[in-house]
Every structure is written in structure tokens, then in C-alpha cells.
């Protein structure tokens, strides 16, 4: 499996959570009961999986390899992706902070939870599309075959040394639990 295929597989898990986060935010916005902890759990998934596992591989391995292969960081797709990662982190922090306030009984935090959750979804969906359709094919063309194998090894090292064993399974289980919670 190529490095970009690993990242694309992770995108599918993230998209699953995006769909459920959007559904929960819309329900909350319509006044339907949604546990504030749902948004805290979603923020935990985002921080641990989308940002921790996935973006760590992109930012610490793939983007570095692309730059070495001649793809510019500034003024190009890597710079755009990095900026969007930062925007996504801001939405996640905002959602988490508002969900904590909502959980503590502050009803005015509801709108902020919804705004940040939907903002996160709105930035991540096209972000994933750009990576899958533009950035990853660009990486496959720019990085020589020998470098592609090194990427997979570096991804495995990140998983082993920096992310930790069992993290994927933990967050995939959390993604499933979030979905089950919203099921009719």
C-alpha cells in the first residue's frame, strides 16, 4: 500500500465522523436533544485521529518529502493545506470550549457549538477532496519510487513512536460509537 492510500483510508474514517458531526450540529441547532459530550467526543476524535495521526503524517512526513522533491511550500498546495489545518484546529478548539460551556449549563453556548462544528465540516470536506484529487496525485508524481517506500516506513515509524499502538483502533471505535449514538 502506498503512503497516499494510507492517508486516503484515514480520510474515509474522518468523513464518517464529519457526517455525524454535521447531523448532530443540525439537530442541536433545531433544538433537538444532543448530548454536549457528543461534541467533546468528536473533538477528541479530531484531535487524536484527524490531527494527531493523520495530519501528523501529512505535515511531518508527506509535505516534507514533497518539498524535498521540489514542490514549494509557500504559494502552493502545501501552504494551502497547512493553513486549512490551522483553521480546522481553531474550529475544533472553539467547538470543544463551547461544548464544555453547554455541558456546564450555559444554553447560549449552543449556537457556538453549532457554528464551530459546521465550520469544521465545511472546511474539511473540500480539504479532503483537494488532497485526494490534487495533492496526493501530485505527491505520487513528484516523489520517486524509492521515496514512496520511505514514506510508508516513516508513516509506520510515526504510528509506532509518536502516535502509539492501538490508536487507530481506539479512534475508529469512537467514530462508530458517535454514529451509533445518532442512529434512530
Supply the DSSP string of 69-107, one letter for each residue.
Answer: TT--STTSHHHHHHHHHHHHHHHHHHHHHHHHHHHTT-T
d(C-alpha 19, C-alpha 120), whole Å: 11
- 62-73: average pLDDT: 92
The confidence band for 157, taking pLDDT boundaries of 50, 70 and 90, is confident
Would you state the pLDDT for residue 73?
Answer: 86
Instruction: Give Dmax (Cα) for the chain.
Output: 55
Taking only the tens place, the pLDDT of each residue in 94-152 is 999 999 999 999 999 999 999 999 999 999 999 999 999 999 999 999 998 888 889 98
C-alpha span between 160 and 150 (Å, rounded) = 15
- Residue 169's pLDDT is 86
Section 4-22 average pLDDT? 96
With pLDDT > 90 as the criterion, what percentage of the chain qualifies? 77
Of residues 158 and 12, the one with the higher pLDDT is 12
Per-residue pLDDT at 164 exceeds 70: no
Rounded to two decimals, the pTM is 0.93
Q: What is the pLDDT at residue 159?
A: 80
Res 1: pLDDT? 75
Q: What is d(CA 56, CA 135) in angstroms, rounded to the nearest whole number? A: 16
Q: Which of 43-57, 131-145, 163-177 has the weakest average pLDDT?
A: 163-177
Residues 15-45: pLDDT tens digits?
A: 999 999 999 999 999 999 999 999 999 999 9
Task: Please count the CA atoms within 13 angstroms of the CA of 112 that sit on its side-chain side.
Answer: 17
CA-only gyration radius of the chain, Å: 17
How far CA 128 is from CA of 16, 23, 86, 105, in Å, comes to 12, 19, 14, 35
Mean pLDDT of 148-172: 82
Q: Which CATH fold topology does 3-179 show?
A: 1.20.120
Contacting residues for 127 by C-beta, under 8 A, at least 6 apart: 81, 84, 88
CA-wise closest residue to 42 among 159, 127, 121: 121
Decide if pLDDT at 162 tops 80: no
Amino acid at each position: 500500500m502506498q503512503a497516499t492510500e494510507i492517508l486516503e483510508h484515514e480520510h474515509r474514517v474522518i468523513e464518517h465522523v464529519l457526517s455525524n458531526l454535521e447531523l448532530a450540529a443540525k439537530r442541536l441547532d433545531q433544538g433537538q436533544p444532543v448530548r454536549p459530550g457528543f461534541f467533546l467526543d468528536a473533538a477528541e476524535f479530531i484531535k487524536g485521529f484527524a490531527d494527531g495521526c493523520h495530519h501528523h503524517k501529512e505535515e511531518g512526513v508527506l509535505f516534507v518529502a514533497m518539498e524535498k522533491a521540489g514542490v514549494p511550500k509557500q504559494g502552493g498546495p502545501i501552504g494551502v493545506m497547512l493553513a486549512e489545518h490551522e483553521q480546522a484546529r481553531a474550529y475544533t478548539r472553539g467547538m470543544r470550549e463551547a461544548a464544555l460551556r453547554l455541558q456546564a449549563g450555559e444554553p447560549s453556548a449552543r449556537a457556538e457549538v453549532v457554528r464551530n462544528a459546521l465550520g469544521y465540516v465545511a472546511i474539511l470536506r473540500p480539504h479532503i477532496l483537494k488532497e485526494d484529487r490534487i495533492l496526493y496525485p501530485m505527491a505520487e508524481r513528484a516523489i520517486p519510487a524509492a521515496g514512496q517506500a520511505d514514506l510508508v516506513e516513516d508513516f509506520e515509524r510515526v504510528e509506532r513512536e509518536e502516535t502509539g499502538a492501538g490508536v487507530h483502533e481506539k479512534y475508529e471505535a469512537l467514530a462508530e460509537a458517535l454514529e451509533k449514538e445518532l442512529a434512530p
